């Protein structure tokens, strides 16, 4: 782990002209996370990658998300469906390296088009009213975890398969949000361990994570308050919108606009 950042490190980051824009992005991403229980990376990643760079975006969001969301995740531990959350997370550990393998072997642009098309197709089916009527068995639940891990490893999109899984059933907004909060906390811990092993953390990343974490946690608090009293219908519509945004923002055709390279 990196040494603690010095005051000069914070000052240098705060005086950069791009910092206010980054802080605004962190605030909005936090609101989305607090309200829906997921989606912060879908807002944060493409925008912070264009303000700084993809590595900075990936490393800071994982630190910010876990630390800032932890106080709001603890109460959800008693509301989530533990057997499903743990099954999905455990199998996602297999999917993550498979996704990384696909990223290294397959054409990355084709892979991103495929995943975006898959997510949008599944979302369209849900919007049209399809629901999974039976109690999901282990095979179906494990397949969701595999898809989530694969998407996370290949193109950094892990949440849509999981939230679509719960949206496809008659799961209330409170339980759905709790499931996502706990699942993404487990994913954050997993990725932080991998990043630490790869030596991706440094003093600058730590300082920027602290600075952007302040507006992010304010956003999470605001989003959590906003969620209280929200109906299942409103929550579902918000989740549909976030998933659609995730798929659309990940499309390679938007790379020039978001200043990304074609490969994720």
Tell me the pLDDT tens digit for each residue of 210-219: 999 999 999 9
Cα angle 186, 76, 134; round to 5:
85
pTM for this entry:
0.74
CA separation for the pair 135, 149 (Å, rounded) = 22
Mean pLDDT (the chain) is 83
> For 180-200, what is each residue's pLDDT tens digit?
999 989 988 888 888 888 787
* Coil, strand or helix at 260: coil
| Structure letter (DSSP) for residue 4 | P
DSSP string for residues in 33-56 = HHHHSS-HHHHHHHHHHHHS-HHH
Instruction: Give 261's pLDDT tier (boundaries 50, 70, 90).
Output: low
Quote the pLDDT of residue 88: 95
Quote the pLDDT of residue 56: 84
**What residue segments make up the domains of the chain, in order of their start?**
7-258
CB neighbour class for 138 (10 Å; exposed up to 12, middle 13-18, buried from 19): exposed
Residue pair 183/69 in contact by the 8 Å Cβ criterion:
no
Note the Cα 149 to chain centre separation in Å: 12
CA separation for the pair 68, 46 (Å, rounded) = 20
């Amino acid at each position: 782990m990196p040494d603690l950042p010095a005051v000069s490190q914070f000052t240098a980051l705060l005086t950069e002209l791009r910092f206010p824009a980054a802080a605004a992005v962190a605030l909005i991403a936090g609101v989305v996370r607090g309200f829906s229980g997921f989606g912060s990376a879908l807002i944060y990643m493409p925008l912070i990658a264009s303000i700084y760079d993809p590595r900075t975006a990936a490393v800071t969001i994982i630190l910010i998300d876990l630390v800032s969301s932890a106080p709001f995740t603890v109460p959800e531990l008693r509301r989530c469906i533990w057997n499903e959350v743990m099954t999905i997370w455990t199998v996602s550990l297999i999917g993550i390296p498979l996704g990384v393998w696909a990223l290294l072997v397959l054409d990355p642009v084709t892979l991103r088009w495929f995943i975006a098309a898959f997510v949008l197709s599944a979302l369209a089916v849900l919007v049209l009213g399809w629901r999974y009527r039976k109690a999901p068995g282990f095979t179906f639940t494990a397949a969701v975890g595999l898809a989530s891990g694969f998407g996370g490893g290949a193109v950094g999109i892990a949440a849509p398969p999981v939230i679509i899984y719960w949206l496809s059933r008659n799961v209330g907004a409170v339980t759905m949000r709790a499931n996502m909060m706990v699942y993404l906390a487990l994913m954050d811990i997993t990725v932080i361990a991998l990043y630490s092993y790869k030596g991706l953390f440094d003093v600058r990343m730590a300082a920027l994570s602290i600075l952007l974490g302040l507006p992010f946690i304010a956003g999470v608090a605001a989003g959590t308050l906003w969620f209280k009293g929200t109906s299942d219908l409103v929550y579902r519509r918000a989740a549909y919108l976030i998933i659609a945004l995730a798929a659309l923002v990940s499309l390679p055709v938007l790379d020039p606009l978001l200043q990304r390279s074609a490969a994720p």
